[in-house]
Each structure stands twice: as C-alpha cells, then as structure tokens.
Amino acid sequence: MQLALFTIFGLLAVVAAINMLAQKHPINSALSLVVVMMSLAVLYFSLGAEFLAAAQVVVYSGAVMVLFVFVIMLLNAGEEEQTEGSRVAAIAGFPGAAAVLCLLTFLFLREKKNLGYVHAGAALSGVISNITEISHQLFTSLLLPFEVTSILVLVAILGAVVLARKEL
C-alpha cells in the first residue's frame, strides 16, 4: 500500500512539476505548484510525519501559494515571451543533469545496501511522538532561527504592502 501511494503521488508530483515549468501563464504554473505541494504532503503523511504533512498543506499549499497568486494578480502578469535561452546553459545543462542523476542513483543504491530495506515508520514506534520531538527541537535548539524566519516573513509582508500601495 505504501509503495503504491509513493508511486502514484511521486509520479503526480513529478508530472505537476514538469507541467509547472511548461506552462506559459503564471496562474497555471502556480496551480501546478499547488498540486506538487499537496503531493508532497501525502508523501510526508505516508512516511509517518503527520505534523510535517499538515504544515505542508497549511503553510505552503495554503499561505505561500495564496501569496504567489496575489503577487501574480498584483503585477498583472500575462503570458511569458519565449527567448532563445543561454547557449552555455544548453550545452552544460544536459550533462550536468545526467551527472546529478547518476550521483543520486549511486547514493540511493549505496544507502539501500548499507541500511537494508527498513520500513519508514519503524523509527517512529517509540514513546515520544513525532509532534512532541519536532516541537521540542523547534522551541529549544532552533528557537533563534524560528524567530528570525518569523521576522523575515513579517518584513516581506510589509514590503509587499508598501510596493502595492498606490500614491494618492
């Protein structure tokens, strides 16, 4: 069952990501990104990370995508113009992508041999729940980065409001 969920939603995430890049209209790209984020949330949930799945839906699929759509509508972005692209990117892109794919395949296969095939939820069978461990780490050792991120988001929202304001 878990392999079937992973296959279905993994393929859905990859197809939606490719669709996001292929779209000419920014709103359609944003909607494809929502599908990617929701697929990732299902994958997190299937791995036993319920809190991370809920945060993925609320924060990324909800708040961030609403902000993206708001900015797209605010800028009144239409269809994008096709450009020739960079010659260097075209020459180095395919071999670079192939090298990264080979490296990731090698790493995944090596880790599979070293660890064996372990069920993803086996690490979560302890007494401490996933949410308890995440909240303990978040509000003890990661408190400063958490607060700095909150301040950065607040500054970004204020900046968006200042840029969107019309002069009277």
d(C-alpha 127, C-alpha 120), whole Å: 16
pLDDT reported for residue 74 = 72
158 falls within a domain: yes
In a domain, 102, yes or no: no
Q: What is the pLDDT of residue 18?
A: 92
Range of the domain at 147: 130-168
Q: Report the pLDDT value the prediction gives residue 118, as an integer from 0 to 100.
A: 47
Is 165 part of a structural domain of the chain? Answer: yes
On whether both 73 and 12 belong to a single domain, the answer is: yes
Domain count across the chain: 2
- pLDDT at 124 (0 to 100): 46
Return the pLDDT at 110. Answer: 75
pTM of the complete model: 0.54
Burial class of 55 by CB neighbour count within 10 A (0 to 12, 13 to 18, 19+) = middle
Mean pLDDT, contiguous 10-residue spans, the chain (168 residues) = 83 91 83 88 86 83 77 66 68 79 78 55 54 80 83 82 68
**Based on the domain organization, do 1 and 73 belong to the same domain?**
yes
Instruction: Single out the residue in 32, 50, 77 at which a domain terminates.
Output: 77
On whether both 1 and 68 belong to a single domain, the answer is yes
